[in-house]
Amino acid sequence: MIAEKTTTAQLIIDKISSSAGKVDFIDNDKLSKALLYLENKGIPTNKHEDYKYCNLDGIFKKEFKNIDQKLNAVSDINKFKLNNSVTIVIVNGNYSETLSDKLILKGLHLNAFSNLDKEGKQLVGSIANIESDAFIALNTAFSGNGFHLKIQENEQFQIPIHILYVSSSNSEAIVNPRNIIELGKNAEATIIEEQVVIGEGKVFTNFLSEKFVGENAKLTSYTFQNEGKNGYSVNTNQVTIARYGKYDNTTITLSGSLVRNNHNVVLAAQNCEAHLNGLFSAKSNQLVDNHTLMDHQMPNCESNELYKGIVNDKSVGVFNGKIYVRKDAQKTNAYQSSKNILLSDDATINTKPQLEIYADDVKCSHGTSTGKIDEAAVFYLNARGIGRESAKKLLLHAFAQEVINKIEVDELKEKVLHLFENEL
Amino acid sequence: MITIKNLHASIGDKEILKGINLEIKAGEVHAIMGPNGSGKSTLSSVLAGREDYEVTQGEVIFNGKDLLELSPEDRAREGLFLAFQYPVEIPGVSNINFLKTAVNEIRAYKGQEEMPAKDFLALVKEKQKLVELDGKLANRSVNEGFSGGEKKRNEIFQMAMLNPKLAILDETDSGLDIDALRIVATGVNALKNKENAFVVITHYQRLLDYIVPDFVHILYKGKIVKSGGKELALELEAKGYDEIKKEFETESV
Ligand SMILES: Nc1ncnc2c1ncn2[C@@H]1O[C@H](COP(=O)(O)OP(=O)(O)O)[C@@H](O)[C@H]1O
Ligand SMILES: [Mg+2]
């Protein structure tokens, strides 16, 4: 059993270690811990409770049995650029100075991991726990040359920071992008993290981000996933919020053969607030699996989650929302809602709210619904001359709108709307 | 305009329409009256193309076309309009976007170009005025949170926007106060011309004071049991439906 489990991990390690760069921003202690964890636990199969619907061991055995890590250079990312934002580009997991905008904004510091000072290095892996998940371990062992983005105290950026992760390979490959995003006290920023896969080969992206929201700081973050058929990814966001801090994330998933999101938010001090919103639209054999964790550790915090999914053909959608309310977290407000539409009889939705509450004075609620398209509404639209396809589009658009409207960057919102409609 | 011959329709194994015959010509207004459950809404739904009902016998010719062969959207594009007895609420779809889509899909079907936005908005304004519909309602989601009266007026507003050849109003008057009733009737009368026709389904004579029918039909247990001129509605009002029920009870099996 153990041997069976670890073969996949061992295979990955063998295949990617020769071409992986030196990960010297991660101390040896963590590195050996990561390798040890992989050796012992391996890549999760669907027997693992957290990966019940997302058999990654199976994916590696089937889709990535010929990894050869021949990655392509990328020289042109213009078509992905947004007009009104600064762009940071990561190619195959590594920060690209040439493709990224020169950041000359006051109060904004960007350092590639290879340039981190001692203090910076200490942040790497400080909140993402290697021993909590195989993909955190895998990223730690083989992390690309990511970056540390710091918004200095009291700096409020209006202009969004667009972080574009481009991966390209003509054969099977694994990339491990990683970053640290840190907002100092009273800082504010909007970041857009977008993942694209170009090139002919399948790319598995094992993304890891550690986000620190400082005291009274506000981080608005968007995750835009549109990797196409060749994209497979596990995306881990580990977030910690300080007093009066606020973290908002909206994750839009429009394509990708497999998209697994692990969004873990720790409300680590009093009076902080977190919002996670998600929208996915899946078809053919896609799997979109959103796992969230809201960890309420201190009193007077609020969290809110709204996830909406549309599944068509044989696709599978998963929402698993864990809420911990620890014993000190009195006066917690935590809400969670997951709504889904099944467009085909062969598509599936699995939802599971998991509430663990150890404090007594809290308000928590969760709701989940899965249904088909409202045929009475379709008929009403038909009766006004609107064809079935347009009627469906109008209704799905209406369904998705609640999440799309959370996007406050107009340019991104329009792009998402447009692509969302094309995907239907 | 439309010829309905021996139309039978059922839901499950329950036959609801049991041989309807009706001929409506351009320029005419027909009223269909009858007690609850006699099949008035079923008839409208079958004509509009709701798939829950199965047509087991009969035919319907609409402007030379076999209506029953057409999809619901094509029936609408050919000029059939049903004002629903229970208009559907569609959260998240704005009235205006919905109508724009409808207008343009109908135009595309006829091989016409999209209506320029300016013309469309002008049309919206004009027709809103006709049915005294609050401009704010146009930007709200279709029927969502509308009062009963607003929903019915919204149906007439949509009818005015789409300018159908044959409009079937399924109890558009029920639940309306006298003011709303007058507005609905004004809308219909303004749209009425020699080229179109209306079927007004109602329980009560009062709407027919405003929209004067050329013919009145009584539908009972899935059949038209009596037809006549506008005086039939008055007679029915005076006698009440119990008389009708008694009179035709024995005939229906
Ligand atoms: N979806 C349905 N399922 C079962 N029976 C129905 C359905 N719709 C209508 N009926 C039945 O068909 C008959 C006619 O209904 P309806 O057409 O709504 O009458 P009306 O509009 O004249 O009041 C009633 O007996 C009603 O119960
Ligand atoms: Mg009825």
Q: How buried is B139 (Cβ within 10 angstroms: 0-12 exposed, 13-18 middle, 19+ buried)?
A: exposed
Residues 6+ apart with CB under 8 A from A96: A74, A89, A90
- Of A143, A174, A179, A186, the closest CA to residue A161 belongs to A179
How far away is chain B from the Cα of A225, in angstroms, using its nearest Cα? 24
CATH number corresponding to B28-47+71-252? 3.40.50.300
Inter-residue contact A188 to A157 (CB < 8 Å): yes
Per the DSSP assignment, residues forming a β-bridge with A244 are none
For residue A423, what pLDDT is reported? 79
- Round to whole Å and give the CA distance between A141 and A163: 23
Question: What separation in Å is there between the alpha carbon of B249 and the centre of ligand 1?
Answer: 18
- Of A54, A44, A233, A36, the closest CA to residue A137 belongs to A36
Partner-chain contact A380 B106, CB within 8 Å: no
Domain-wise residue ranges, chain A: 2-269, 375-424
Question: What separation in Å is there between the alpha carbon of A222 and the centre of ligand 1?
Answer: 50
Tracing tokens 């004009």 back to the chain, one arrives at: B126
Q: What is the pLDDT of residues B35-66, one digit of tens each?
A: 899 999 999 999 999 999 999 999 999 999 99
Question: What separation in Å is there between the alpha carbon of B86 and the centre of ligand 1?
Answer: 13
Is the pLDDT assigned to residue B179 strictly greater than 90? no
- Of A199, A145, A152, A190, the closest CA to residue A171 belongs to A199
B93 lines ligand 1 (CB under 6 A): no
What residue in A sits closest to B74 (Cα-Cα)?
A385
- Round to whole Å and give the CA distance between A166 and A301: 36
Residues 6+ apart with CB under 8 A from B138: B94, B95, B96, B124, B128
Residues 6+ apart with CB under 8 A from A330: A299, A300, A359, A360, A361, A362
Inter-residue contact B43 to B8 (CB < 8 Å): no
For residue B25, what pLDDT is reported? 97
- Round to whole Å and give the CA distance between A402 and A398: 8
- Per-position b or e across A46-72, b if 16+ CB within 10 A of its CB: eebebbbbbbbbebbeebbeebebebb
Partner-chain contact B48 A397, CB within 8 Å: no
- Of B170, B245, B201, B223, the closest CA to residue B15 belongs to B223
Partner-chain contact A386 B98, CB within 8 Å: yes
Which residues 47-76 of B are in CB contact (within 8 Å) with A? 48-51, 71-73, 75-76
- The bound ligand whose nearest atom lies closest to the alpha carbon of B42 is 1
- Of B85, B67, B77, the closest CA to residue B163 belongs to B77
Reading phi first (left if > 0) and then psi (alpha if -120 to 50, else beta), residue A107 is in left
Partner-chain contact A382 B82, CB within 8 Å: no
Q: Say how many Å lie between the first and final Cα of chain A, rounded.
A: 42
Two tokens at A251?
């994750």
Which residues of chain B are within 8 Å of residue A381 when distances are taken between CB atoms? 90, 98, 101-102
For residue A6, what pLDDT is reported? 57
Chain pair A-B, CB pairs under 8 angstroms: 77
Highest mean pLDDT among A7-21, A145-159, B135-149, B165-179: A145-159
- The reply to whether B235 touches chain A by the CB within 8 Å rule is no
- pLDDT averages per 10-residue partition of chain A, 424 residues: 64 83 86 93 92 92 89 91 95 96 88 93 95 96 95 94 96 96 98 95 97 98 95 98 98 97 98 98 97 98 98 97 97 97 97 96 96 96 97 95 96 95 83
Two tokens at B30?
């027909």
Inter-residue contact A261 to A235 (CB < 8 Å): yes
Residue nearest to atom 9 of ligand 1 (CA): B42
For residue B253, what pLDDT is reported? 44
Task: Provide the 8-state DSSP code for A130.
Answer: G
How far away is chain B from the Cα of A247, in angstroms, using its nearest Cα? 27
Which residues 129-168 of B are in CB contact (within 8 Å) with A? 141-142, 158, 162
